[in-house]
Chains A and B, each alone.
Chain A
Amino acid sequence: MDKVLMKGNEAIAEAAIRAGCRHFFGYPITPQTEISAYMARRMPKIGGTFLQAESEVAAINMVYGAAGAGVRAMTSSSSPGISLKSEGISYIAGADLPCVIVNIVRAGPGLGGIQPAQSDYFQAVKGGGHGDYRMIVVAPSSIQEIVDSTFLAFDLADKYRMPVMLMGDGMLGQMMEPVAFPDTTGVKLPEKEWATTGTKKMRKPNIINSLYIQPDELEALIKNRWKKYIEIEQNEVRFEAEGTEDAEIILVAYGATARIVKAAIKKARENGIKAGLIRPITLWPFPSDVISAAAKKVKAILCVEMSMGQMVEDVRLSAAGACPVHFYGRTGGVVPIPADVYDEIRRYV
């Protein structure tokens, strides 16, 4: 297929449709509104549902209902809206429902700003909502990877019956790059015999629920769910490593920031500094093993984020003291520039 130029937000929407999503529930918020606008244009033409909900809270609960009814459902928002959706995400995790939630992150806290940020890492990978649960978080770094990640997100959600977050930022959402879409004609979506589609008086009622009043029962259920999480940690870690074989310093960055870091690494290499990159693509499950192994071989690790330092905590846990882990971050919607990252690299080698 021919490559077309597409905004990140529009690429997510098109990829979701091609992945079989026919139910999208949204609420406008900058900088992700193009997703809703695209869905509003396309869904009526393909027999799908686009619904602008009365709030982010309502939208995520519509996703809960639709996912419980067995369809591929999605919602998207940006940081303040994800805070509102967090209640629903917890219920979705507690009821073992598959769905995709898009967060095109902007600066916070509060209303914050509308420029790109990565300050929702904690919210995404450490909970956000209440309770013992995990959510797979996929953080692409280019528009083509956004497309691939959207397919992946729906597949993982169905495979493990759990919410998956696709995390971008204002820059990825707004920028255009060439993309190609895989051919999905004839791809069959998985059967969901647990969904509430009506008993047709042929089976016992299906119940979608997260309430378990007996502590023993709830503990057993959560422990069972944890086995799934461990399986995911073993099988679904995704990352990109570049120049790590001979590196004296490893940079760790994800999403749009990783692109900036790549430019800085290029300059470092040109100037004789052996710098490498580990780019987590899944933020949970986190690529701890590769970082742990790298930490034993390098002089230092430098974590770069558009935040005051969130992922760096997981990098430090992974490095476990094997080497110093430094941090460089810009926040509030300020995007780091390659020259500044290069200067940081020089400080540590």
Chain B
Amino acid sequence: MPSKRLNYIAIRFMPHTAAERRIAMTYEILFAGFGGQGILFSGKVAAYAGLMGDMEVSWLPSYGPEMRGGTANCHVIISDSPVGSPIVNNPTDLVAMNLPSFTKFEKTVLTGGNIIADSSLISIKPDRDDINFYPIPATQMASDMEIPKLANMIIFGKLIAVSKFATMETVRKAVEKSVPPSKKELIEVNMKAIEAGYNYIG
């Protein structure tokens, strides 16, 4: 849906000649869910994927008491120009992994933007029709695949499929960068989860 993307690029004060606008690419992604769902990690992989693709990136977590069990969210900006404010007030892409996050942030998504929601945990649909909605039962899929902690990477795979800010090849490099050197064995299982989400058709 290229027309929808152009729509929100315009809103984001991007370069205003048509030629510039076609190549102007800025993704403002909001990952939101419960603490412990791996929200910050999937954000980190996204940021590394941007970095590996020679884009400018920033990653900003929510911090403080909410880190310890409450809601967690993470703002990632991937752009071909230097990142100004690292805060994502109006995401181009929202990854919602629980109901409170979905209801809180649904209305902030830019027109033409994407909402990717874990439909295992969020049974409702968006209240608006000017965005693209992609439900994916990530938690159920993770459970079925016996990788219960990797629902975050399954939904991340879906994000890659719809927003296309990185190729799967770049995503692999990003996962390699994000996994601690002592836990190399996690690379393949993360990629398996990402691919499952990437290939999911719902």
Taking Cβ atoms with an 8 Å cutoff, the residues of A that contact B are 3-5, 30-31, 114-115, 170-171, 174-178, 256, 259-260, 262-263, 266-267, 270, 335, 337-339
Contacts and interface: CB of A to CB of B under 8 A. Distances in A.
Given A30-B63, A175-B58, A270 B16 contact: yes
12 contacts: A5-B48, A174-B60, A175-B58, A177-B57, A178-B51, A256-B86, A259-B83, A260-B84, A260-B85, A270-B16, A337-B87, A338-B85
Given A177-B83, A259-B86, A31 B57 contact: no
Interface of B: 13, 16, 44, 47-48, 51, 56-61, 63-64, 83-87, 89, 177
Contacts of B89: 337, 339
B61 A174 contact: yes
Given A5-B44, A270-B16, A335-B87, A176 B59 contact: yes
A175 B87 CA distance: 10
B13 A270 contact: yes
Q: Which 8 A-B pairs have the closest CB atoms?
A: A263-B84, A176-B59, A267-B13, A175-B60, A260-B85, A262-B84, A114-B64, A259-B84
Contacts, number: 67
A24 B13 CA distance: 43
Contacts of A339: 89
Nearest to B76: A176
Given A5-B57, A178-B56, A256-B86, 16 more contacts: A3-B51, A5-B59, A30-B63, A114-B64, A171-B87, A174-B61, A175-B86, A176-B60, A177-B83, A178-B51, A259-B86, A262-B84, A266-B84, A270-B16, A337-B89, A338-B85
Interface centre among A115, A176, A266, A270 (most CB of B within 10 A): A176
A146 to B, nearest CB: 13
Contact of A263 (B59, B63, B85, B177): B85
B63 A170 contact: yes
A171 B84 CA distance: 13
Contacts of A31: 63-64
